[in-house]
């Protein structure tokens, strides 16, 4: 460990970086890593966070004193959670600790234990060395930008670390994982009654979801082809991120070598789902959302809108009958918009799926998303229809989509960089040779072209990166390459500090 952290001051002086307070959760590096992200949090800072989170929930949000806490499978996550709990207890909170869990498992515990608040210690898909907290003050809801900004100002504006108050209570709830899995098995056994089952490759990348998804699908009768599902906090094979190409390529191999009907992969804390079709091809989550949404429209008669994030395909508006509501990217944004609009479901291209009652409880859950997709395909197979995911996708208009590329930009400058690039794109009449129809500034800058093609450039909300995605509807995908060239030219012309990112030829 760097000498800066191998010192008495590390245990005595608070380290709590302002940049860790992000748009819809909090994330810091807590252990030195080989990358360029500095350590921004220590355990003194975590206790300080817990104290102020408890007081913020009770004094500012009037959310009551009951809170569920849990942690993901990383070498330091339980220590982070324990430090957070100390602060919460100091604030007078009544803590229900469910221990090792996925993030959806923590959300579920809010309902099963009838507790309004949640604090889940997880860095999600971030590399080792990172930690974070996903927080909420009511069921099926997590902090959005308004709450995060207020919490940041509330916490950083205080110097108090020893506020006198009545102590809280602590309960460790055993069997939370078992209750979560049992409940889903009971509920979905009814939906799958009489339906054929599929052969499913399951890959958790040695993350926490490996304790959940394989057992759940096996108990529901699916033939599970297991990947790296034993939790291992060193992540020896790849980082469990459904937008990471090495992770996805491994699932492609798992599907093709085992003749699986479908490949499913889960991120480190289990709230996101990645999908590989029966041919071993990556399917972006926004396309998966269309397939499931069409099934819900046609089979269940659902009439409410669907919520989609700005990173998603423009096909939603042409392929679905129900209304489409666009939302900013981010699990809290989409979750809130689903609740606000009374939507049937919400879909985020990064792999967050949100299903309202009766399918889900409104929060993002990779296991529930997997079950919804399998229900769609199994129902089609039972009806004698085209049921393979590749066939379902072939029914949609063809387009070419870039992967989610995330070149490094510092947290301090990433929003400025987006504004610089937006100023450049605002002046364009054509992009890649196609006429610009509109520019959407809901979240970053999304340029819509005359043939439904589009480009999005935005700042990542949870890491020091840009997000660059494009989709085109030309015959051969050359428009995607032309757009990519113009993005690189815009970055160079704006003279901004942006790290390298892969060319489309590498995918």
Q: Per residue in 115-131, pLDDT tens?
A: 999 999 999 988 899 99
User: What pLDDT is stored for residue 6 in this prediction?
Assistant: 81
**pLDDT confidence bin for 505, thresholds 50/70/90:** low
Q: How far is CA 132 from the centre of its chain?
A: 13
Listed residue (231, 113, 199, 178) closest to 381, CA to CA:
199
- Distance in angstroms (rounded) separating the CA atoms of residues 455 and 478: 14
Instruction: State the sign of the Cα–Cα–Cα–Cα dihedral 87, 89, 94, 99.
Output: positive
Give me the residue label for tokens 């221990």: 99
3-class state of residue 213 by DSSP: helix
Q: Is 340 helix (H, G, I), strand (E, B) or coil?
A: helix
- R_g of the chain computed on alpha carbons: 22
Q: What is the mean pLDDT of residues 442-469?
A: 92
Q: What is the pLDDT, as a whole number, of residue 302?
A: 86
SS (H, E, C) 66-134: EEEEEECCCCCHHHHHHHHHHHHHHCCCEEEEEEECCHHHHHHHHHHCCCCEEEEECCCCCCCCEEEEE
Q: Using omega within 30 degrees of 0 as the cis cutoff, is the peptide bond preceding 342 cis?
A: no
Query: Which pLDDT tens digit goes with each residue over 65-103?
Result: 999 999 999 999 999 999 999 999 999 999 999 999 999
- The whole-angstrom separation of Cα 326 and Cα 334 is 9
Q: What is the 3 state secondary structure string of 369-385?
A: HHHHHHHHHHHHHHCCC
471 has a pLDDT exceeding 80: yes
Spatial contact of 353 and 365, defined as CB atoms under 8 Å apart: yes
Residue 69's DSSP bridge partners are: 97, 119
Residue 258's CB: how many other CB atoms inside 10 A? 15
For 344, the token pair is 């049937």
Residue 195, token pair as written in the block: 């339906």
**Residue 54 contacts residue 92 (beta carbons within 8 Å):** yes
How confident is the model at residue 35, as a pLDDT?
62
414 alpha carbon, distance to own chain's centre: 20
Q: Report the catalytic residues.
A: 124
Contact assessment for residue 185 and residue 217, using Cβ atoms and an 8 Å cutoff: no
Q: Which of 143-147, 205-209, 389-393, 491-495 has the lowest mean pLDDT?
A: 491-495
194 is written with which tokens? 């009489």
CA torsion 202-204-206-210 (nearest 10°) is -80
Give strand ranges (E) for 227-358. 262-266, 273-276, 282-283, 306-309, 324-327, 345-347, 353-355
Measure the CA–CA gap between 326 and 496, rounded to whole angstroms: 29
Round to the nearest angstrom and report the end-to-end CA distance of the chain: 36
Tell me the pTM: 0.92
pLDDT at 1 over 50: no
Spatial distance between the Cα atoms of 116 and 51, rounded to a whole number of angstroms = 18
């Amino acid at each position: 460990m760097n000498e800066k952290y191998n010192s008495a001051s590390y245990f005595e002086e608070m380290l709590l970086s302002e940049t860790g307070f992000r748009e819809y959760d909090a994330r810091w590096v807590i252990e030195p890593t080989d990358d360029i992200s500095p350590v921004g949090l220590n355990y003194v800072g975590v206790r300080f966070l817990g104290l102020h989170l408890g007081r913020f929930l009770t004094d500012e949000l009037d959310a009551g004193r009951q809170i569920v806490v849990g942690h993901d499978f990383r070498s330091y996550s339980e220590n982070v959670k324990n430090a957070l709990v100390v602060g919460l207890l100091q604030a007078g909170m009544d803590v229900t600790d469910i221990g090792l869990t996925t993030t959806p498992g923590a959300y579920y515990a809010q309902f099963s234990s009838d507790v309004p608040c949640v604090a889940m210690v997880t860095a999600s898909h971030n590399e080792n060395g990172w930690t974070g907290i996903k927080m909420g003050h009511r069921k099926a809801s997590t902090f959005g930008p308004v709450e995060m900004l207020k919490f940041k100002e509330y916490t950083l504006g205080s110097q108090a670390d020893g506020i006198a108050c009545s102590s809280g209570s602590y309960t460790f709830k055993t069997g939370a994982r078992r209750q979560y899995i049992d409940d889903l098995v009971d509920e979905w056994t009814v939906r799958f009654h009489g339906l054929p089952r599929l052969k499913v490759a399951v890959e958790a990348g040695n993350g926490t979801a490996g304790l959940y998804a394989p057992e759940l699908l096996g108990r529901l009768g699916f033939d599970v082809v297991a990947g790296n599902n034993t939790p291992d906090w060193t992540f020896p094979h790849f980082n469990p991120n459904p937008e990471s190409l090495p992770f996805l390529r491994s699932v492609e191999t798992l599907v093709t070598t085992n003749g699986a009907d479908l490949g499913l992969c889960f991120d480190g804390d289990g709230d996101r789902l990645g999908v590989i079709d029966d041919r071993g091809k990556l399917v972006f989550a926004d396309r998966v959302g269309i397939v499931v949404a069409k099934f819900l429209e046609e089979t269940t008669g659902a009439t409410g809108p669907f919520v989609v994030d700005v990173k998603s395909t423009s096909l939603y508006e042409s392929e679905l009958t129900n209304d489409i509501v666009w939302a900013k990217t981010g699990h809290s944004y989409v979750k809130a918009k689903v609740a606000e609009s009374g939507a049937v479901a919400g879909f985020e291209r990064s792999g967050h799926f949100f299903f309202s009652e009766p399918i889900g409880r409104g929060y993002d859950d990779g296991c529930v998303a997997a079950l919804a997709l399998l229900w769609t395909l199994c129902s089609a197979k039972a009806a004698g229809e085209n049921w393979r995911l590749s066939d379902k996708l072939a029914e949609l208009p063809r387009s070419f989509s870039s992967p989610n590329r995330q070149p490094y930009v510092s947290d301090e400058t990433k929003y400025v960089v987006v504004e610089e690039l937006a100023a450049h794109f605002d002046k364009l009449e054509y992009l890649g040779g196609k006429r610009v129809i509109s520019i959407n500034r809901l979240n970053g800058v999304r340029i819509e072209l005359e043939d439904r093609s589009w480009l999005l450039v935005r700042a990542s909300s949870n890491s020091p990166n840009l997000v660059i995605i494009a989709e085109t509807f030309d015959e051969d995908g050359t428009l995607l390459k032309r757009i990519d060239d113009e993005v690189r030219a815009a970055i160079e012309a704006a003279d901004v500090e942006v790290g390298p990112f892969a060319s489309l030829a590498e995918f």
